[in-house]
Amino acid sequence: FEDQDGFIVEYLWTFEEGVNIGGSGMTLTSDFSVTESLERNPIIGWKEPGIKNISLEVTDDDGNSSTATIQVLVVNQRPVAVFTRPSDGFVDTEYIFESLSFDPDGNSSMLEIIWNISAFEEEVYNVSTVYHTFTSPGLYSVSLTVIDERGMESAKKSYTLRIDNPLPVPEINFRQPSVNGSSLDTIPEDYSQISWQVPFTENGGGFVAPNMPLLFDGSNSYDSDPIFQGMTSTNQDDPDWNGITRWIWDFGDSSPVKEGVEVWHHYQIPGTYKVRLTVVDGFEAGETNTTTMMIYVSRTPEIITNDPTGLEYVIVGEIVDLDAEVVDRDLQDGIEAWLDIDVNEDSDGDGNFENDKDRYLSSEPVIRWDLNIATDGIDNDGNTMNDFVWGEQVWKLPEYQPLVILLETCDGVDVCSSKQFEITVLSIEEDDGPLSISDLTWEDFVPDAGSAGLLALIATVLLLGWLIMRQKDEEELDAKSSTETYDVQEVEAEGGLPGMDQHNPPPQPKYLTVEERRNKESGYIRPIRTRRK
């Protein structure tokens, strides 16, 4: 309002319904009972929406007054849907969705709450807090809508959550074939007669001999999604499918990668190898996970012994201890291994059929002796090099000298090495009687230092050598014939054919007279002379 001939001295506001003139900080519990105000510009608020009538009467300095009426549309404010977005996560994790919604012009406790979660078939009503665990990986939407007591609906509040696919769980098992307790060195065609053994180490690896066929098995691998819990089949068409689509094997020995639930493999070279199994599940493009296992391929025991008797010879009938020094590098490296001789039996009763310590594989190497590899003396199996004996043995006079004996040593997985030694065996009579030249060996020419015949023996050897050296061979006889042809008077041979310096020079040529030089029959050749210009 404006007074053109003075000024306004009074304002009277009249509100048809009670209002609040408190200004900022107004709530539903504020006082809304004020119906009049003398302020020039009051700040008011209504508790209820609708069309509100407001009248204003003003009075000027002359006492004149004027009145005006206006209408105000008070609208209902939309409630606000609020909830906190949880972090992306994994299946089998409990998520909490809590409504923090409010009605700015109404009673928030009277709000109608509507949850829409894409993992649910139906909406969830009037529950302020929802607890849920996602059982399958994927992308999920969660939305919240609230409605106030006047029917005003809020804007939809939505979040998207990614529930990551849990990685598949790879598991490696392996076993070796055997028949009647003896390991096979070839892959069997028929499994019906096979007993499966597991040579395992204390750290969960394997300890095997070179070229031992091993069957690696990944069938216990599984997809850790809850929907596959308890599933065991590897067939994707089976309702009991465990969720794994591929099994990829890397045996760590530069051999080609293999695929399959079960694969055969053998290691040719001793050493330590890391087996890797990678499994792929069926989620989207396929999640992968890898596990490893160590395989220790036994090294051959090393025979250090060079002289098992420590004697120059042994006497028939005497007991001689044979000394064998053997080194097993696998034992030095601390490998501890056992053999479960049958995976169908749980001998220790712990529920695991593949960890029974039925046989210790890390014992000291076994040592065996064959005292004559020239004869098949015990088992008559046609093999002269496997007649092994144990305990104290007495020596027999062999048919051939020197006697050759065999030392064989084997570790816990039957990896063996052998070494031969020559032994001279003498009878008492042979030891006391004289030896012929053909019976002598180089050791017979080395008597004790106190022997009285030492000098005589040396002289005999020198004499025999001189006689042998005096015998002319065929080349020396040819050389002698040549010296006679060329009228060489003396040839001195030193250990072979005569050389240029091993004979006297030929006689000096005869001096020819002038007539003899001119005679063509003399053989004289006139030298050529040239003149220098």
Structure confidence at residue 51 (pLDDT) = 92
Structure confidence at residue 530 (pLDDT) = 40
The pLDDT tens digits of the residues spanning 271-310 come to 999 999 999 998 878 889 999 999 999 999 999 999 998 8
Burial class (CB in 10 A: 0-12, 13-18, 19+), 132: middle
State the pLDDT confidence band at 374, using cuts at 50, 70 and 90.
Answer: confident
Residue 391's CB: how many other CB atoms inside 10 A?
Answer: 4
Structure confidence at residue 528 (pLDDT) = 47
Q: Which residue has the tokens 């509507």?
A: 114
- Sorted by where each begins, the domain ranges of the chain are 8-74, 89-164, 173-297, 302-324+364-432
> Which fold does the domain 302-324+364-432 belong to in CATH?
Immunoglobulin-like (2.60.40)
Residue 448: is its pLDDT beyond 60?
no
Rounded distance between C-alpha atoms, residue 383 and residue 376, angstroms: 6
Strand segments (E) across 236-310: 244-250, 258-259, 262-265, 271-281, 288-297, 302-303
Of 49-58, 226-235, 382-391, the range with the lowest mean pLDDT is 382-391
Rounded distance between C-alpha atoms, residue 284 and residue 326, angstroms: 57
Rounded distance between C-alpha atoms, residue 393 and residue 54, angstroms: 132
Residue 275's CB: how many other CB atoms inside 10 A?
Answer: 21
Q: What's the average model confidence in pLDDT over 93-111?
A: 91
Residue 227's CB: how many other CB atoms inside 10 A?
Answer: 11
> In this structure, are strands 94-98 and 129-133 parallel, antiparallel, or unpaired?
antiparallel
8-74 CATH: 2.60.40
Say if 8-74 and 89-164 have the same CATH topology: yes
State the pLDDT confidence band at 316, using cuts at 50, 70 and 90.
Answer: confident
Instruction: State residue 73 phi and psi, 5-degree precision.
Output: -95, 115
Q: pTM of the entire structure?
A: 0.63
89-164 CATH: 2.60.40.10
Residue 70: is its pLDDT beyond 80?
yes
The pLDDT tens digits of the residues spanning 386-441 come to 666 665 667 777 777 788 889 999 999 999 999 999 988 888 644 444 555 555 55
Domain 173-297 has CATH 2.60.40.10: yes
> What are the residue ranges of helices labelled H in 357-506?
428-432, 454-470, 474-485
Rounded distance between C-alpha atoms, residue 276 and residue 48, angstroms: 72
Q: Which of 364, 472, 460 is nearest to 412 (CA)?
A: 364
Q: What's the average model confidence in pLDDT over 203-224?
A: 96
| Residue 51 parent element (H or E) | strand 50-60
> In this structure, are strands 314-315 and 425-426 parallel, antiparallel, or unpaired?
parallel
